[in-house]
Amino acid sequence: MTYEVYKFIPNDENPAIRNLMVVDDNKVDQMIYRRIIKRSGLVGQVLQFLSAEEALIHLRRVDRASVDAILLDINMPRMDGFEFLAAATDELGDSFTRMLVVMLTTSLDPGDEARASQFSVVKEYLNKPLVQNHLLQIAEYLARNATKGTHTEG
């Protein structure tokens, strides 16, 4: 297994965020994200990846469930967040996720934010650490854009 899946809310209960991917190389951070995500009561299931390469391999699979949102760390060894963004949009277009949220390590990365904003799939930025309110923002974005109605399979 190249990633971990945790199911919190069954699909028939219509969670605000059905399928969330988190890409971050820090294991402890991932554990804390998982607890925050579970506690939020907003997320159906979370897929956690410790490397961007593994996340990319998963996105290539034709039999995967559709992804509502991806939380993406920037500073990762080997393939960093930007390289992941470039590779994913190159290969898969913009539709591999409904929204992508870039997690910035510092509030002082205007350069990083500008760089990330060049990808249309990037809809939000959040400054680490992840808090409940960030998940609420993601849920609200998805609700606002739900009318486009691609959200049928599960």
Partner 1 sequence: MADHYLKTELDHQMSTDPEMWSFVQQASLDGVWYWDLEQPDQEWMSPEFWRLFGIDPATKSHNPAEWQDIINPDDLKIALVNFELHCADPAHPYDQLVRYRHTDGSTIWVRCRGRAIRNDKGEAIRMFGVHNEITAVRRRHETGRELDAANSELRDFAYAVSHDLKSPVNTVGMLLDELHEGEGARLSDDGHHLLSLAGESIGRMQVLIDELLRYTSIIGEVMEFVPVSLNELAQGLLHELDAELSAANVVIDLQPLPQVIAHEEQMRLLLSNLLTNAIKFSRLDCENRISIAGQTTGDNRVLISITDQGVGVGPEDFERIFTIFTRLHRPEQIAGTGLGLALCRRIVMNHGGSITLTSDPGVGSCFTVELPQSQT
* 29 vs 129: CA distance, rounded Å: 9
128 vs 151 by CB, closer to partner 1: 128
* 7 vs 63: CA distance, rounded Å: 18
| Sites for partner 1 among residues 6-25 (CB under 8 A) | none
136 lines the binding site for partner 1 (CB under 8 A): no
Whether the CB-CB separation of 83 and 74 falls below 8 Å is answered with no
The least CB distance from residue 39 to partner 1, in Å, is 7
80 lines the binding site for partner 1 (CB under 8 A): no
In the set 26, 66, 137, 145, which binds partner 1 (CB under 8 A)? 26
Q: What is the number of alpha carbons within 13 Å of residue 86 lying toward its C-beta? A: 7
In the set 2, 6, 32, 136, which binds partner 1 (CB under 8 A)? 32
60 lines the binding site for partner 1 (CB under 8 A): no
E strands in the chain: 3-7, 17-23, 43-49, 69-73, 99-104, 122-127
- What residues line the site for partner 1 (CB under 8 A)? 26, 28-29, 32, 35-36, 39, 75, 105-108, 128-130
